[in-house]
Structure 1
Amino acid sequence: MTSKFRGLLGLTTAAMLGVSALVTQADAATLRMAWAQDATGLDPHKQTAFSSLRLLELIYEPLVRLDADLKIVPGIAQSWEFSADGKELTFKLDPKAKFQNGDAVTSADVKASFERILDEQTGAANRANYLSIEGIEAPDAGTVVFKLKQPDAPILTAMTDTNSSIVPASEIAAGTIGTKAVGSGPFKLERWDPNSKEVLVANKDWAGGPTGVEGIEISVLPDESAILAAMRTGQVDFALLNDPLIATLVPNEAKLQLNRAPVLAYHVLQLNPARKPMNELAVRQAISCAVDRQAVLDTASLGEGKVTGPLTMPVYASDPDSLFCYKRDVEKAKKLMADAGFADGFTATVIAATGEPPTAASEAQVLQSQLAEIGVKLDIKMMELNVYVDTWLKGDFDMAVALNGGRPDPYTMYNRYWTKNGNLQQVSNFADDTLDTLLQQGRAETDPDKRKVIFADFEKQLAEKSPWVWLYTSYGYTAQQKNVQGFVPMPTGSLYSLGKVTLQQ
């Protein structure tokens, strides 16, 4: 399906469903918001879908956060300090921090939260970032000390993640994490009707101060064409958009404003090196050489983005043209296939999620066409997001079209996939001594210039071994009525600044 046809289909769908019936009116102090993909769960330590993280970051808080410049700023913690040898990290908590049940956030809650993350039985998404922790001490209610096995330069960056949110120790003990949401963030979850609506109300005890609105009412609309239609008629104040085809229409609307910011997340074709013939290096390299990344970007995302290597953060990113086979070379790809014994090609299935991202089907179709030129016959299998995430986490695929989150530090971004103890190693299905060693070196090194050299080598090795084929980075889009003030777009795609948004009369 072409991008143009995809957009026309969405507009037809919206008209048939009648968007006016899908968005309810709310009090003037309530921000009426919409998105097309709902959260898949409420456990902040386990959720990996973007839609889940965007909801949970409004309810929960980590120890520290990132600002719009990717600098670390206070969250639940007011201050932090590494010891001289780098083996202790001490936090002083904000004494005003309270959970939404009225209880103060204490060092016992921080200790219990990180012990839960480190417990393999939890299945925490961020666990691999904390394997240097050998002990957690709580000398008083407002102080937490992390004892580390080794200096760990990126651990503080890892702690900014929503997957590292602090939850009440009492809720952990009760086994209710994921069944209800009790955080310390700007909003409380009052109601969740999956795939229909979320109702958030202001947390009056939020340590961050008064929120700009009394609440947020989020409607899950059938597609982003429906969202744009609802914004045109003034029924939605603010919307999260993922489809560049829809986002690029917003500037044509006089009453609307588009927020567009480059993000660290990356579009990627994930190969499964545990399955034949992707276990052959030459086959993986052939696939990489056969892909025209710019054509995928132009067709699926209207050119809204740029071709990328594995490292998407500006401080560490390389020129993609310097990486293995980033200039398409079909003849080289055919030779690699023949050298591997697959001159006649093979058949494989590629999975993709409906709705996250909206470009997934188009990306799969372009890749299907390009790989057919070297005899790789792709069967595209579209899945609902919940089914896709479960399948993806099990590594149960030949290939997968994915949009994966980026991080400001290469170690926190990739150690969960490419180290032998990584908690998402079953997704990558690829263990490599060189990659593992380079990541461990980058983790322990504190000199910024030396870290850049280490991770440049890591990126080069990863691109050459081609367990995945990195495609492009795009933009994060939100749209708002012009009376919405105070929203700050983030390179991480975070919506956290909605805590301070106001509605001007």
Structure 2
Amino acid sequence: MVETMTFWQSQKKLLAGVALATVVGALAISAPVQAATLRMAWAQDATGLDPHKQTAFSSLRLLELIYEPLVRLDANLNIVPAIADSWEFSADGTSLTFKLNPNAKFHNGEAVTSADVKASFERILDEATGAATRANFLSISSIETPDAGTVVFKLSQPDAPILTAMTDLNAAIVPASEIAAGTIGTKAIGSGPFKLDQWEPDSKEELSTNKDWAGGAVALDGINISVLPDETAILAALRTGQVDFALLNDPLVATLVPREANLQLNRQPGLAYNVLQLNPSRSPMTELGVRQAISCAIDRQEVLDTALLGEGQVTGPLTIPAYATDPKELFCYTPDLEKAKKLMADAGHADGFEATVIAATGEPPVAASEAQVIQSQLAEIGIKLNIETMELNVYVDRWLKGDFDMAVAQNGGRADPYTMYNRYWTKDGNLQKVSNYIDDTLDSLMKQGRTETDPAKRKEIFAQFEKHLAEVSPWIWLSTSYNYTAQQKTVHGFVPTPTGTLFGLTKVTLD
């Protein structure tokens, strides 16, 4: 039985056309597969193997099959066991105790112990690591390991969302021995359902089933992943039966899948969001009026309809259904060119200015199209927007450094507003270089939302946070979209989730 403190129980209610020859050649590099090996494809490969540092969706989709956090989210966004069997908060909310699954083992045969959990979180908290989710765990004051199967997190204050934060792949548990050896990121040794046997970047991955996985039996012998040139090539491979299962991101391709008699499209509304990120540290985006003018000039529905074929919903900053505000209630979500022009003039930029927006070529595949629509819309208020596209690894490097005027991005959602945004919009946020904006109101509301345990009060706090964030407009939120996977009808048991995880492959069987 999983135990939690009262405030978590109450909070949980709120979580409620490429040539076929090209495809054949790309697939031919993989060795012949066994009958129970899933043949999978995607168009964007992982950019690295360090689970604590990776932010690209393509990296997370691979690593979540190899590594495990203490707890994870199920398809309904409920927190369920992973490495931990059970957990319990102290009555005052300042202590969180986990009991580990005694059968959990790393791929190297070592048992997963409390020492590994402690070493993993100390690595995440070490600022030198550059961990993507560090800011979510700053309330941890110490970590105690009374025995090999028990770990106790001592907290400096009640922290309502910390358990949700621990479901993140960026909070995966890695072997203390590998941390000491300095091999995290060069080898992939986790405790998850699959082992990484081979990785040829931008070519293929071969995974075998971890027969000792404490999570239970997996029907597959393994997964062979081919990295194909683009999603049109993936569709061609699905049509010809060379691929069993595929991850898709492009609605232009995904919407073609249902036309194929032998294929099935899995289409799940996601928590991730498409966004135009402004850089408020660069003039003239330093000026509130300019940022607001950009927000008023952008027709979000037109961006959605044109670049994503209408596959999604216009959204504000919060995409979690239990917390989201109706976009109509947010600042300038109804396009208003006259207001935008006046804001520009009042800010001293009646004649506009020139800026550059960066976009990755592969993640998401609609980024360049979004940028083109935005370019046309901002031209109406005198902004000449140049578009610079680049490979994902180059984009991620630029993005993490905040080296852009504007950026078209697709960022991951989370099941709790605090874990979703504190790394960007608090003074201690570890991705402040990306957001380049913070004010006392955002910081204060985030802190209140972190310690408040009453669900209704938390909802009101984050409603204020969302409205303020939309009004000061450091970013221009555009839309949510769908998580797509496609499969042969001989594939059974995969359950898609709002987070886009591929963890459901553990339940897959093949005819």
CA distance in 1, matches of 2:218, 2:257: 27
2:98 corresponds to which of 88, 91, 99: 91
CA distance in 2, matches of 1:57, 1:411: 22
Aligned position for 1:419:
426
1:52 corresponds to which of 42, 52, 59: 59
**Runs of 4+ more than 6 Å apart:** none
**Residues 231 and 396 from structure 1, CA distance in 2 versus in 1: closer, same or farther, beyond 3 angstroms?**
same
Aligned position for 2:193:
186
Alignment of 1:296-315 (within 5 A): 296-315=303-322
2:52/2:124 contact within 8 Å kept: yes
2:410 corresponds to which of 398, 403, 423: 403
2:271 corresponds to which of 264, 268, 288: 264
Alignment of 1:112-131 (within 5 A): 112-131=119-138
Deviation track 1:12-59 (CA, whole Å, cap 9, x = no partner) reads xx2175211222441111000000000000000000000000000000
Secondary structure of residue in 2 paired with 1:23? helix
Given residue 320 of structure 2, which amino acid in structure 1 is its aligned partner? M
1:453 to 2:460 alignment:
yes
Aligned residues: 492
Aligned position for 1:74:
81
Secondary structure of residue in 2 paired with 1:263? strand
Given residue 348 of structure 1, which amino acid in structure 2 is its aligned partner? A
CA distance in 1, matches of 2:360, 2:81: 35
CA distance in 2, matches of 1:223, 1:387: 18
Structure 2 residue runs without a partner (length 5+): 1-16
Given residue 69 of structure 1, which amino acid in structure 2 is its aligned partner? N
2:139 corresponds to which of 109, 115, 132: 132
1:275 to 2:279 alignment:
no
1:478 to 2:497 alignment:
no
Secondary structure of residue in 2 paired with 1:113? helix
2:20/2:236 contact within 8 Å kept: no
CA distance in 2, matches of 1:303, 1:479: 19
Given residue 405 of structure 1, which amino acid in structure 2 is its aligned partner? G
Alignment of 1:199-218 (within 5 A): 199-218=206-225
Secondary structure of residue in 1 paired with 2:325? coil
CA distance in 2, matches of 1:144, 1:500: 29
**What is the root-mean-square deviation in Å for CA atoms of aligned residues?**
0.6
Aligned position for 2:22:
18
Aligned position for 1:251:
258
CA distance in 2, matches of 1:261, 1:111: 35
CA distance in 1, matches of 2:35, 2:226: 16
Report the TM-score when normalising by structure 2: 0.96
Aligned position for 1:8:
none
CA distance in 1, matches of 2:33, 2:210: 18
CA distance in 2, matches of 1:276, 1:330: 21
1:495 corresponds to which of 490, 502, 508: 502
Given residue 268 of structure 2, which amino acid in structure 1 is its aligned partner? A
Aligned position for 1:39:
46
1:152 corresponds to which of 156, 159, 164: 159
1:235 to 2:242 alignment:
yes
1:376 to 2:383 alignment:
yes
CA distance in 2, matches of 1:169, 1:223: 38
CA distance in 2, matches of 1:305, 1:26: 36
CA distance in 1, matches of 2:393, 2:27: 24
Secondary structure of residue in 2 paired with 1:97? coil
Given residue 22 of structure 1, which amino acid in structure 2 is its aligned partner? A
CA distance in 1, matches of 2:84, 2:449: 26
Aligned position for 2:177:
170
**Residues 16 and 234 from structure 1, CA distance in 2 versus in 1: closer, same or farther, beyond 3 angstroms?**
closer
2:363/2:392 contact within 8 Å kept: yes
Secondary structure of residue in 1 paired with 2:151? strand
**Residues 101 and 367 from structure 1, CA distance in 2 versus in 1: closer, same or farther, beyond 3 angstroms?**
same
Aligned position for 2:3:
none
Aligned position for 2:330:
323
CA shift, 1:466, in A, is: 0.1
CA distance in 2, matches of 1:75, 1:318: 32
CA shift, 1:431, in A, is: 1.6
CA shift, 1:449, in A, is: 0.4
Deviation track 1:474-499 (CA, whole Å, cap 9, x = no partner) reads 00000000111110101000000111
Deviation track 1:295-331 (CA, whole Å, cap 9, x = no partner) reads 0000000000000000000000010000000000000
Given residue 395 of structure 2, which amino acid in structure 1 is its aligned partner? Y
Given residue 460 of structure 1, which amino acid in structure 2 is its aligned partner? K
Aligned position for 2:12:
none
CA distance in 2, matches of 1:285, 1:238: 43
Structure 1 residue runs without a partner (length 5+): 1-10
1:429 to 2:433 alignment:
no
CA distance in 2, matches of 1:52, 1:81: 31
Q: Which of 22-31 and 205-214 deviates more?
A: 22-31
Aligned position for 1:444:
451
CA distance in 1, matches of 2:21, 2:48: 26
1:291 corresponds to which of 298, 317, 320: 298
Secondary structure of residue in 1 paired with 2:409? strand
CA distance in 2, matches of 1:87, 1:49: 33
Secondary structure of residue in 1 paired with 2:120? helix
CA distance in 1, matches of 2:374, 2:188: 40
CA distance in 1, matches of 2:394, 2:71: 32
Deviation track 1:357-409 (CA, whole Å, cap 9, x = no partner) reads 00000000000000000001100000100000000000000000000000010
Secondary structure of residue in 1 paired with 2:275? strand
1:161 to 2:165 alignment:
no
Aligned position for 1:5:
none
Given residue 52 of structure 2, which amino acid in structure 1 is its aligned partner? H
Given residue 491 of structure 1, which amino acid in structure 2 is its aligned partner? P
Report the TM-score when normalising by structure 1: 0.97
CA shift, 1:500, in A, is: 1.9
